[in-house]
Each structure stands twice: as C-alpha cells, then as structure tokens.
Amino acid sequence: MNSLRNTNMKTLIQAAVAVALALSGPHVSDAGADGPYETAVMSSSPAAYWRFEETNGLVLNRADTPAPAGTVSGSHQRNQPSASSPLGSCIEFSGGGVRVPFSTWTQPGTNFSVELWAKAVTVTAPAHLAGSSRDLSSGSFKFVVYGGPVTRYSIGAGRQGTTAPNGADAGLSATTADYLRQWHHYVYVHDGSSGVASFYVDGELIDTSPFSMANFATNTSDFMIALHDVPGFPYPFQGMIDEVAFYQRALGANEVRQHFCAAGTCCVGDLNQDAAVDGADLGILLFAWGPVTASPAADLNADGQVDGADLGVVLSHWGDCP
C-alpha cells in the first residue's frame, strides 16, 4: 500500500515538473567532462586545487587555478584508490609530504577556506594534514589529527603571534573514534567578515567559534600537506589524503554540502536525513522555495535558488537511499 501511495504521489508531482523547470529557467548540470566532484569544486572558484592524480613528478595544481605545483618527498605511495570513484586516486603518506612554494594564493587571510579528504591509518603523534608557518607564529594555520583513546581532529589559525596560543580565538575540533581508518571530507571556513570560524565534516557543521580579528597577521611560508614545516618536528600524517583545495573566501554551508555530495557519498535529496527521499523531503523543498535563506540544504545544485531544478533532483532520487 505504501509503495502504491508513493508511486501515485510521484506521478502527480512529475506532472508539475515541466512547468516548474520552465519557470526556473535554464540550468547547468553539476556533471561535466571533469567529473562531478571536480566540477563542484571548480564552481566555487578555488585559488588552489591539487587532485593528486599524477603517478610521478610534481603534484600539479589545476591549470586554471593560479597557485604553484607541489614537490613530493619522503615515504609515500601514489595512485591509491580514494574515498569514491569520482575522486579518482590519492596519495598514501607514511612519513613523506608535499611542499608547495609560498604564494599569495595559499596565504591565510581575513576570509579563507581549506578543504580536503583524508583517512588516518595510524596516529602516533600530532599529525599535520595541512598548514603553513610554525604553530605559534603570527599568521600560522594548521590542521592536525591527534591520537589516543579517541581520535581528535583540530584546526585553527594563529593571528596574534607568540603572545597567544595558536588558534586561541579560532581553534575548532571534532572528536570521535570513528574517524580513524575511515575516509572523511573536511572543510575549515575562516569568515573574518562575520568573525566566525566553522569546521565541517562530511558536509555537516561540527564546530563553530566566534573570534576577534584584532592583530590578524599573514605569513609568507610554504604550504605543507602531510607534514609540519619545522626542522626536527615533522609530525607526518600517516594515511591517505586527496583533493586538497584552498579558497581565498569563506565557503557557504550549501557549497560544502554540495561538494561532499558530488563525490557520491551522500543520499541526494534526503533533506531530513531519514534514509529516504519522499514526501517529507518534498515538503521541506517547497517550503524553502525561492532565494536561499534559512534552508541552504534545499538548494541541491547550489545556484542560490530553490526551484524547479532542485525539484527535479528530488524526483530523480525518489525512494529509499542506497
């Protein structure tokens, strides 16, 4: 009976799709020659984006983003399977890392975001996934995973030099035993314009913190991936890293969610997260119809509008989630 009811509802809604799409105007698909994840990231205009697809040589930056390529050193293995097929391959680090020469494109500023996928295999010391400058230096940035009984990921931006601990005003963390030995999508958003730092895991906001922009300072250090750039204290990350992107602006919550879903790792259209795309999700979408305001998750194609294109996405994924 429920199956028949759902089928009838879907049929009735589909009759209105053509009209809704016509009213919403033309839209560009989130799929493209580069693949859905790469297309989603590029639609957010990264200043730097390393995909880790090379089998040897430099870790190349996207040709249409301005930051330089990175040099790989130390123990590592390329061409390893990433979190999902749309992400391609990744690099597994076991003592090595990537150094990207300094450029303004990877220099933390008033507004910036850092995004990556990672899977920690083992943690024996504070392991650095990405960052620049020394921990307590003015203008430093670090993303670290700590071991112990419960794995903890911590991220922060130092602004006041050695007079205050690094990340004192914008230190964020996510703590759970499930993060070890599993792939996850991590995004740090530093929104200086509103004075808020945010940390997202798998498309969801995990931690947020207000901060003061007083005495903010930048640095001129290289951008490091999987290593801490301090002689004698490399604190290497042991595990897989992929799809590292740096943005010279604060990403929105809807963009973060769109990137995560573009990797094929979430149930698209399941707005209430009950493992099914059904009438309840349709109600959420219709209630949010129009310019994105309080319900960014309903903007499934992240174009700033909840409209016929988003309705089409919900209908195309109707039913139980895989």
Give the pLDDT confidence score for residue 140 in this predicted structure.
77
Residue 257 in contact with residue 296, Cβ under 8 Å? yes
> What is the sign, positive or negative, of the torsion defined by CA atoms of 270, 273, 278, 280?
negative
Give the pLDDT confidence score for residue 255 in this predicted structure.
92
Asked if pLDDT for residue 241 goes beyond 50, the answer is yes
Name the amino acid, one letter, at 147: G
Average the pLDDT over 228-236 and give the result.
87
What domains lie within the chain, and their CATH numbers? 2-32+267-320 (1.10.1330.10), 45-250 (2.60.120.200)
pLDDT greater at residue 172 or residue 57: 57
3-state secondary structure of 253: helix
* Radius of gyration for the alpha carbons in the chain, expressed in angstroms and rounded: 21
> What element of type H or E holds 261?
helix 253-262
Question: CA end-to-end span of the chain, whole Å?
Answer: 21
Residue 128 in contact with residue 228, Cβ under 8 Å? yes
Asked if pLDDT for residue 88 goes beyond 90, the answer is yes
Asked if pLDDT for residue 46 goes beyond 80, the answer is yes
Q: Measure Cα distances from 130 to 217, 228, 244 in Å.
A: 19, 8, 9
Of these ranges, 133-142, 197-206, 241-250, 296-305, the one predicted with the greatest mean pLDDT is 241-250
Asked if pLDDT for residue 31 goes beyond 60, the answer is no
DSSP 5-69: HHHHHHHHHHHHHHHHHHHH-----S--TT-HHHHHHHTT--SEEE----SSS-BPBPTTS-SPP
Average the pLDDT over 83-99 and give the result.
94
Asked if pLDDT for residue 111 goes beyond 50, the answer is yes
Of these ranges, 51-65, 215-229, 240-254, the one predicted with the greatest mean pLDDT is 240-254
**pLDDT-wise least confident of 137-151, 158-172, 178-192:** 158-172
Q: Which residues contact 94 (CB under 8 A, 6 or more apart)?
A: 75, 76, 77, 236, 238
Mean pLDDT value across the chain: 79
Residue 115: half-sphere exposure toward Cβ, Cα within 13 Å: 34
**pLDDT-wise least confident of 45-49, 233-237, 272-276, 281-285:** 272-276
Name the amino acid, one letter, at 256: V
Asked if pLDDT for residue 212 goes beyond 70, the answer is no
Alpha-carbon span 312 to 322, nearest angstrom: 19
Could you tell me the pLDDT band of residue 295, with boundaries at 50, 70 and 90?
Answer: low
pTM (two decimals): 0.75
Alpha-carbon span 268 to 247, nearest angstrom: 25
Give the pLDDT confidence score for residue 146 in this predicted structure.
79
- Of the candidates 202, 219, 203, 319, the residue with the CA atom closest to the CA atom of residue 270: 319
Asked if pLDDT for residue 223 goes beyond 80, the answer is yes
